[in-house]
């Protein structure tokens, strides 16, 4: 944002400014076509969940659901193509699915409210005891309506409990045939797809709860792009960071082999990496306005497709009990995706280069410092606007306009660095300013807005204090002089 634009002293006809948060939220809503109502209800439910790390738990839960869905597609499995599938024993693959389902059940129990869970368990017990089939049917239909995320999660957990029990019995067989494996896949897929609030999302579909681009240089580079280029590049970065998020779950305890569900995660990574390669080639390279961008997209498409197939071939050859081949595949995938993030970032901003570029792009200290400074300025500009509104006959328009401009600036980068739990308070307060036309007239309306801005400044100050305590800042002192300099860029020039 140019200094000239920030310091515009003319009174605007309207204060309304399209918030950049709309770009990310609209992109994600567009990718979730047909699910907007369910997702809004799910967001409200998630905010009510009183569990530490609820967003990360939800991410892991949905990763397991998605992994199970993809694991029954043979193209995603590291299977020796020379051996006929119909003669193959699928006990190992069924054991992998069993472990992923078991993990999903445990997470679902953590996310379910204990009181509501007990009520649903009791209702399920009543269903089994009722002699009158009419009453029993009514209870079952009421449950299957899935009127809330809580009910939807409970039904999925119960279904997975039953499916896990079936798999446990099947694993006692001497051989698990391909047809048996496919039948279990159909049952698992049906339970997941028919779930109203927790069905697996489509490829290149994102969730505001946990899909974020946490990199100051990348967010700044994206904000400078034209709308036509910004969307496909943003999708690419979101997908690459999500793949790295998946891979963070592939690991092992010291001296222990990786959990079986790690193979399910790697199959999911293989599936989504090939989808992403197609996005680079068909969407990004075709729409990019600059040759530099086109070249980077095509190179990324080739690298991802080639390396994914190479890693898949190595996985099909791995058979040691230690699982080192799985860990090596995770390392190779991680290196691959980090390299593509660097390639795209350099294409958008040629100045981004050098050794260890990925570490520089995702520097947590830089993110915390940027967020801390912007929160301080936001609180100060809220106080400026509040003071103007509380001063009788003062023209509040310039201060409100400067605040609106800063909120738009804040949402380009720092908003994406907030934690999900902070979004609701910021959205509500920022909306009061960004959706405003003319400043309020009359003492009552001015006093009401002044009070809202006082509360907004408190939200910013509270979040500032929380960020200030983050370990990644490493005791670095707040640069008050730099923050004041940033604030001065957005304040009206003295008359």
pLDDT, residue 487, reads: 95
In this predicted structure, the answer to whether residue 124 has a pLDDT above a threshold of 70 is no
Residue 293, in any domain of the structure: yes
Q: Count of CB atoms within 10 A of residue 438's CB?
A: 13
* Two structure tokens written together for 246: 């998946």
pLDDT, residue 355, reads: 82
Report how far residue 257's alpha carbon sits from residue 95's, in angstroms, rounded to the nearest whole number: 15
What residue has token string 């003295």? Answer: 494
Residues 425 and 333 in one domain: no
Average pLDDT over residues 410-427: 90
Q: Which residues of 257-286 are buried (b: 16+ CB within 10 A; e: fewer)?
A: ebbbbbbbbbbbbbbbbbebbebbbebbbe
Q: Per-residue pLDDT tens for 285-312?
A: 988 888 999 999 999 999 999 999 999 9
pLDDT, residue 9, reads: 40
Q: In this predicted model, which residue has the larger pLDDT, 8 or 398?
A: 398
Find the distance separating the first CA and the last CA of the chain, reported in whole Å.
22
Q: Per-residue pLDDT tens for 167-181?
A: 999 999 999 999 999
Residue 201, in any domain of the structure: no
Report how far residue 39's alpha carbon sits from residue 130's, in angstroms, rounded to the nearest whole number: 35
In this predicted structure, the answer to whether residue 418 has a pLDDT above a threshold of 50 is yes
Residues 292 and 416 in one domain: no
In this predicted structure, the answer to whether residue 419 has a pLDDT above a threshold of 80 is yes
Identify the domain boundary among 129, 158, 193. 193
Look at the pTM and tell me if it is higher than 0.75.
Answer: yes
DSSP 23-55: HHHHHHHHHTTT-HHHHHHHHHHHHH---TTHH
Q: Per-residue pLDDT tens for 313-335?
A: 888 887 666 788 899 999 999 99
Residues 374 and 236 in one domain: no
Residue 279, in any domain of the structure: yes
Handedness of CA 78, 82, 83, 86 (dihedral sign): positive
Residues 268 and 375 in one domain: no
Average pLDDT over residues 83-94: 89
User: Which residue spans within 32-170 are E strands per DSSP?
Assistant: none
Report how far residue 463's alpha carbon sits from residue 473's, in angstroms, rounded to the nearest whole number: 15
Cα dist. 134→123, 137, 138, 404, 452 in Å?
15, 5, 6, 59, 54
Identify the domain boundary among 339, 361, 383. 361
* Two structure tokens written together for 185: 């896949």
Q: In this predicted model, which residue has the larger pLDDT, 80 or 464?
A: 464
Residue 207, in any domain of the structure: no
Report how far residue 41's alpha carbon sits from residue 215's, in angstroms, rounded to the nearest whole number: 29
The chain-wide mean pLDDT, for the chain, equals 86
Report how far residue 298's alpha carbon sits from residue 377's, in angstroms, rounded to the nearest whole number: 41
Which stretch of 16-25, 98-107, 368-377, 426-435 has the lowest confidence by average pLDDT? 16-25
Identify the domain boundary among 128, 162, 193. 193
Contact at 8 Å (CB) between 161 and 109?
A: no
Residues 341 and 248 in one domain: yes
Residues 189 and 223 in one domain: no
Residues 357 and 367 in one domain: no
Residues 41 and 131 in one domain: yes
User: Which residue spans within 365-481 are E strands per DSSP?
Assistant: none
Residue 261, in any domain of the structure: yes
Residues 63 and 85 in one domain: yes
In this predicted structure, the answer to whether residue 126 has a pLDDT above a threshold of 60 is no
Q: In a 10 Å sphere around its CB, with 0-12 CB exposed, 13-18 middle and 19+ buried, how is residue 85 labelled?
A: middle
Closest to 323 in 3D by CA, of 361, 282, 374, 266 = 266
Average pLDDT over residues 381-408: 91
Residues 189 and 220 in one domain: no
Q: In this predicted model, which residue has the larger pLDDT, 310 or 121?
A: 310
Residues 182 and 304 in one domain: no
Q: In a 10 Å sphere around its CB, with 0-12 CB exposed, 13-18 middle and 19+ buried, how is residue 444 labelled?
A: exposed
Residue 101, in any domain of the structure: yes
Cα dist. 320→262, 317, 326 in Å?
15, 9, 10
Q: Count of CB atoms within 10 A of residue 253's CB?
A: 8
Average pLDDT over residues 460-487: 93
CATH classification at residue 313: 1.20.120
Residue 444, in any domain of the structure: yes
Residues 17 and 53 in one domain: no
Closest to 38 in 3D by CA, of 208, 201, 197 = 197
Contact at 8 Å (CB) between 418 and 429?
A: no
Give the percent of the chain with pLDDT over 70: 86
Report how far residue 82's alpha carbon sits from residue 85's, in angstroms, rounded to the nearest whole number: 9
Report how far residue 168's alpha carbon sits from residue 178's, in angstroms, rounded to the nearest whole number: 17
Residue 281, in any domain of the structure: yes
* Two structure tokens written together for 316: 């099909």
Could you list the residue range(s) of the whole structural domain that residue 85 is in?
Answer: 33-193
Structural domains of the chain, count = 3
In this predicted structure, the answer to whether residue 248 has a pLDDT above a threshold of 90 is yes
Q: Count of CB atoms within 10 A of residue 154's CB?
A: 24
Residue 40, C-beta contacts closer than 8 angstroms, at least 6 positions apart: none
pLDDT, residue 119, reads: 59
pLDDT, residue 36, reads: 59
């Amino acid at each position: 944002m140019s200094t000239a634009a920030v310091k515009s002293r003319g009174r605007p006809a309207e204060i309304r400014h399209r918030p950049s948060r709309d770009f990310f939220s609209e992109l994600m809503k567009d990718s979730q076509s047909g699910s907007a109502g369910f997702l809004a209800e799910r967001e409200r439910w998630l905010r009510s969940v009183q569990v530490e790390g609820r967003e990360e738990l939800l991410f892991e839960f949905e990763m397991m659901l998605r992994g199970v869905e993809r694991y029954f597609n043979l193209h995603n499995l590291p299977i020796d193509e020379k051996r006929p599938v119909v003669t193959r024993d699928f006990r190992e693959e069924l054991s992998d699915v069993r472990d992923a389902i078991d993990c999903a059940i445990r997470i679902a129990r953590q996310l379910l409210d204990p009181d509501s869970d007990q009520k649903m368990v009791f209702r399920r017990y009543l269903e089994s005891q009722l002699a009158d089939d009419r009453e029993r049917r009514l209870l079952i239909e009421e449950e299957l309506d899935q009127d809330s995320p809580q009910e939807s999660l409970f039904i999925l957990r119960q279904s997975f409990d039953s499916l896990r029990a079936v798999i446990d019995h099947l694993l006692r067989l001497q051989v698990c045939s391909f047809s048996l494996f496919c039948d279990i896949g159909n049952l698992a897929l049906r339970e997941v797809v028919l779930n109203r609030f927790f069905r697996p999302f489509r490829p290149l579909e994102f969730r505001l709860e946990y899909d974020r681009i946490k990199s100051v240089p990348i967010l700044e580079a994206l904000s400078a792009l034209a709308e036509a280029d910004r969307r496909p590049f943003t999708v690419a970065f979101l997908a690459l960071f999500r793949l790295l998020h998946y891979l963070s779950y592939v690991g092992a305890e010291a001296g222990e082999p990786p959990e079986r569900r790690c193979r399910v995660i790697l199959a999911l990574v293989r599936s989504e990496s090939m989808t992403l390669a197609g996005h680079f080639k068909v969407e990004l390279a075709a729409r990019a306005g600059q040759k530099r961008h086109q070249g980077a997209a095509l190179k990324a498409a080739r690298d991802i497709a080639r390396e994914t197939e190479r890693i898949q071939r190595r996985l099909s050859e791995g058979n040691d009990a230690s699982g080192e081949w799985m860990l090596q595949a995770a390392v190779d995938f991680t290196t691959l995706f980090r390299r593509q993030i660097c390639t795209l970032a350099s294409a958008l901003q040629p100045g981004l280069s050098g050794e260890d570029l990925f570490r520089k792009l995702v520097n947590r200290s830089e993110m915390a410092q940027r967020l801390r400074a912007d929160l301080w300025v936001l609180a100060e500009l809220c106080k400026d606007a509040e003071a103007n509104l509380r001063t009788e006959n003062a023209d509040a328009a310039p201060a409100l306009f400067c605040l609106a401009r800063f909120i738009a600036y804040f949402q380009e980068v720092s908003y994406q660095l907030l934690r999900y739990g902070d979004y609701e308070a910021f959205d509500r307060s920022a909306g009061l300013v960004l959706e405003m036309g003319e400043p309020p007239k009359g003492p009552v309306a001015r006093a009401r807005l002044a009070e809202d801005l006082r509360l907004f400044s408190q939200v910013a100050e509270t979040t500032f204090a929380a960020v200030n305590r983050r370990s990644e800042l490493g005791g670095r002192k707040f640069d008050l002089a730099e923050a004041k300099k940033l604030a001065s860029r957005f304040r009206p020039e003295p008359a």
